Structure 1
Amino acid sequence: MAEWPEDSVVRARMEWRARFVMHREAWMVVSGGVLGAVFASMGLAVLLGPANGFGGDSLGYMGAISILGLLPCGAGFVWALIHPRRGLPAAAVGTVLGLAIFLCFAGDGLNDSWKAPPDHPATVRAVGSWTSGDLVVRVRPDQVVAYRSGGGSVAWRWTPPGEDSVCTMSRGIGAGGVGLVGHSPHGKPCSAVTALNLADGKESWTDTVEAPARDGDSADSDLVAVVGTRAVLQGTDGWRAVRLADGRELWRSAPDAGCTPLEVAGGEQDVVTAAQCGDGAAVLRSLAPGDGTGRTRVDLPVDGGVKNLMVVSVEPLAVWVDAQADRGTHAVLSYDRSGKQRASIPVSGDEYDLDVMLGGVHAFDEFTARPLFGGVVVGDLFIVPGEKPGDVGISGGTHPGRTATGRLVAYSLADGGKRWTAGLDDQVTGVLVDGGSVWAMTRDKLTRVDAATGRRSRELDVNDTASLYPVDLTMAGRERFTVVAEDGTGDEPPVRGMS
């Protein structure tokens, strides 16, 4: 029976509609599987990424995009999953795309790999720390605790004898991992010095010095120093060098007539002493560690006396001078081997205020036995956090917030000129020299800056504990760090590892 033309048209329309419905369903399955898997996989990566070494501001944006994307695509994704023949391959493609987008835009991050338990009692604070091999040694007034940097277990503890508390410690440690700790009873002069073997916490020897009066349980810095295989002890009568291994005396050096010892610092080839001479200038002297022979003598430009004086570097010789007089010297001064001044770097200049010691005006309230220097020396460059008014802004009201910026600045110790400035996201809370680079820690990031050029070569997000106050930062391996806090009784643990 012949078919009417109208029937052919109707059949063709029906077939076209059937093919359209089939193609539309296939398109929905494929597009729903791809788009849904893109947003779902990217969202899961954002959730799990920080625990697996990813970080960065982009994670928040990718998380928001994932949520907004799944709102219109969620139904299509479910539709794809219940049609597995086309849906599963589409979802696989979308998963690969989502993870690729995450990997392209996510930054690198650090997580807390371990945390030491909180300090007790709640009033205790650290006065300094050392790193020796795989041990991080945190010094409190009442005890010295060594943690293994691999997992945070306690290797040993040392407690000062009797009712003594720690009143000073050496900046560095010597051959074989020996550090010096000064201790005395409450309110008594800091007269006892003990050499600790940091591998096991055993005492090598204890000696005494004629020390000035001590205020309560306070601690002071740079009263003892390690210089290679020697220890140099400071007393009211001068400086005495002993063998680090057994405490046997090697030589003595007295200050100039009418001068009072202030501090001692040690390098690989020099001992540097500082003394206050009456109400006038302070004097720096460089001594040979072998026999105490004088090498360099510098009269510092502080006729009205000094408020603060710290040896920033022994080799090359650089010292921070903070005079009593408002219009006196407030600068980092560098000197050559003959004692001639090379450079003067003002700590409060027209452009920046320099955090020579981390913590700014509160620096001397933190890590009192071994202070944290913000200004470090790499080669012939002095690299230091620089601050400007308004770097940190706090907004109040119903939605309080905080905005901040920070920077490292490099100055030449040869002529005092500025060499470069590297911008950071916040104020610096820790500084670490790593060969020809400097790591700068802020609340949320750890940034590596090339010392020669100021170029930022690495940026790692701190995913877990934020350091709100200055910390002692050390390396425990390739992109593995340990962080020592002064106050370990609150939100920040006393010591933690990051990797």
Structure 2
Amino acid sequence: MRGPVARPGRARRPGCLAVVVVAVLALVGGLVSGILMITGHMPGDSMDTVWETPADPAAVEHGNGSWPVGDVLVRSRFDAVTGYGLRTGKRHWEYVPPGRSEICSTSAPDDSVLLLVHGENVTATRSEGCADVTALDLRTGKELWSGSRKASAKASAGGPVSGAVAAGGGLAVVLDTWTDENGEAVADGRRAIRAVDLRTGERRWTATVPEDCLPFDVGAAKRRVVAVLGCGKGGRTELTAAVLDPATGALLHNEPLDARRPVAPSSVRTALLSVDPLVVSVRPAYYGGTGVDAFFAFGADGRRTSRIESSGEHGKIVADKPSKVAVDGERLYAVAEFRKSSTSSRVVAVDLATGRLAWQADSGRGDTVALSVHDGKVTFLQQDRGSFTERLYVLDGATGEELDDRTFSVDVDHEAGWLGGLFDRDGLLIVSRYDTKGPGRPFVVYERW
């Protein structure tokens, strides 16, 4: 007698149901993972806020700067310099210049010391008060010493005052204003560069620049003091890069910026992008203007090694934003804009010795808003137009190989204002900014998670 026979269709139903359940779960899991990744909440692929400073009142165009110094984050603006704890965001100290003084400009820090140029009666078009120099200990916020410099009533706060002080190699190098914006002499330009001890203010030396030369910018590092000079007479004046002995101020070398065509100081703006190695940025005198737009690099002996055009196969380097250009070792790293269907940006590395493109990275599909280089790694922040998110990329500085890629769970650039600095330190990403139109947070700190 035959027993009951199992029907094949019914036997397979539990197995089919299991497959369907697994498929649905995989689909849901994939959707959830995708949403978490897009919104910046995917563990191991995200960034989140550690702390942020309270909003500051509106800033002005002069006196702004930010730097990580040990375990302190330092912020400078026209009315104060403030130190915050790197890990906690707690305000450790604040230095306010005396009376109604405003900070006109600063040096970059060296050995935890920051130099301030400040004074009263400072506006966007006049800096007659930018005649005081103060050295500030960034570990404590205490004044180390103060002195004075010559200033011109007709010089703008953002003009000759920029590059007026430099700190490096135990020296504070001060540039006196020797001419106003109309070219009228107000001091002996050939003796306008002088150095004092960085921590005590004790006088070290006064440099005598070559005959028919006058200084425009100064810089200092451990092994050298440099200056951008204008040399020549009348309409034949051209810009040169001079290297001075840090021990005596004696001239060691003076080289024209361009080997073929003189670069006239009247048609451009210059900036010392780096002192060691020496790199000078030259741009047209006004936005949209014509003229030299390039970087000039010099070797250890002070001799020119390359001229790097801002525009080339890499696109156009955004040279007017300090947060988008950096020099580290033997390379220039920068954000370069290029056009496809719309303007996009990439990060490029250029060899200083040859002026040739070492690599370029077209990560993402958005706008790179800030870049930094530290410990051989290039970190940059990008706004992705397609997904309306912001991403962090970390590249190997030598090869351009991508080492990390993260999505933010918050809009990093949601704060109004100009993004003035990006720093990757001790596993933390530090974003600094200032806003001239209203309140803004000077620091926001993020961590990977």
- Normalized against structure 1, the TM-score is what? 0.73
How far apart are 1:376 and its partner, in Å?
A: 2.2
The reply to whether residue 459 of structure 1 matches residue 405 of structure 2 is yes
The reply to whether residue 322 of structure 1 matches residue 283 of structure 2 is yes
How far apart, in 2, do the equivalents of 1:491 and 1:466 lie?
16
Tell me which residue corresponds to 2:142. Answer: 202
How far apart are 1:322 and its partner, in Å?
A: 3.0
- 8 Å Cα contact 2:65-2:75 kept in structure 1: yes
Tell me which residue corresponds to 2:115. Answer: 180
How far apart, in 2, do the equivalents of 1:216 and 1:285 lie?
25
Q: Which amino acid aligns with 1:315?
A: D
Q: Which amino acid aligns with 1:296?
A: H
Tell me which residue corresponds to 1:292. Answer: 249
- 8 Å Cα contact 2:338-2:344 kept in structure 1: no
Tell me which residue corresponds to 1:366. Answer: none
Tell me which residue corresponds to 1:428. Answer: 368
The reply to whether residue 448 of structure 1 matches residue 384 of structure 2 is no
Matches within 5 A, 1:262-341: 262-277=216-231, 279=235, 280-301=237-258, 302-305=262-265, 306-322=267-283, 328-341=291-304
How far apart, in 1, do the equivalents of 2:54 and 2:375 lie?
32
- 8 Å Cα contact 2:434-2:440 kept in structure 1: no
Post-superposition Cα deviations, 1:439-465, rounded to whole Å, max 9, x if no partner, equal: 122221221222222222222223313
How far apart are 1:259 and its partner, in Å?
A: 3.9
> Which protein has the larger Cα radius of gyration, Structure 1 or Structure 2?
1
Q: Which amino acid aligns with 1:459?
A: D
Which runs of no fewer than 5 residues in structure 1 stay unpaired? Answer: 50-54, 61-101, 359-371, 394-403
How far apart are 1:170 and its partner, in Å?
A: 0.5
Q: Which amino acid aligns with 1:242?
A: V
- 8 Å Cα contact 2:323-2:419 kept in structure 1: no
The reply to whether residue 232 of structure 1 matches residue 173 of structure 2 is yes
- 8 Å Cα contact 2:65-2:420 kept in structure 1: no
How far apart are 1:483 and its partner, in Å?
A: 0.7
- 8 Å Cα contact 2:221-2:276 kept in structure 1: yes
How far apart, in 2, do the equivalents of 1:123 and 1:271 lie?
30
- 8 Å Cα contact 2:75-2:83 kept in structure 1: yes
How far apart, in 2, do the equivalents of 1:464 and 1:457 lie?
22
Going from structure 1 to structure 2, the CA distance change for 1:266 and 1:123 (only over 3 Å counts) comes to closer
How far apart, in 2, do the equivalents of 1:428 and 1:381 lie?
19
How far apart, in 2, do the equivalents of 1:216 and 1:310 lie?
16
Matches within 5 A, 1:143-182: 143-171=80-108, 173-175=109-111, 177-182=112-117
How far apart are 1:122 and its partner, in Å?
A: 7.3
- 8 Å Cα contact 1:209-1:233 kept in structure 2: yes
Going from structure 1 to structure 2, the CA distance change for 1:390 and 1:213 (only over 3 Å counts) comes to farther
The reply to whether residue 383 of structure 1 matches residue 383 of structure 2 is no
How far apart, in 2, do the equivalents of 1:38 and 1:194 lie?
64
1:388 counterpart SS class: strand
Q: 1:477 aligns with which of 407, 420, 426?
A: 426
Tell me which residue corresponds to 1:401. Answer: none
How far apart are 1:327 and its partner, in Å?
A: 6.8
How far apart are 1:45 and its partner, in Å?
A: 5.7
Tell me which residue corresponds to 1:111. Answer: 48
Tell me which residue corresponds to 1:487. Answer: 435
Going from structure 1 to structure 2, the CA distance change for 1:213 and 1:348 (only over 3 Å counts) comes to farther
Tell me which residue corresponds to 2:182. Answer: none
2:395 counterpart SS class: strand
Tell me which residue corresponds to 1:438. Answer: 378
How far apart are 1:260 and its partner, in Å?
A: 3.5
2:354 counterpart SS class: coil
How far apart, in 1, do the equivalents of 2:14 and 2:264 lie?
89
How far apart, in 2, do the equivalents of 1:288 and 1:470 lie?
36
- 8 Å Cα contact 2:257-2:304 kept in structure 1: no
Q: 1:244 aligns with which of 188, 198, 222?
A: 198
Tell me which residue corresponds to 1:95. Answer: none
- 8 Å Cα contact 2:323-2:372 kept in structure 1: no
Going from structure 1 to structure 2, the CA distance change for 1:385 and 1:218 (only over 3 Å counts) comes to closer
How far apart are 1:35 and its partner, in Å?
A: 4.9
Moved more, 187-196 or 177-186: 187-196
- 8 Å Cα contact 1:405-1:424 kept in structure 2: no
- 8 Å Cα contact 1:353-1:388 kept in structure 2: yes
How far apart, in 2, do the equivalents of 1:36 and 1:295 lie?
74
2:423 counterpart SS class: strand
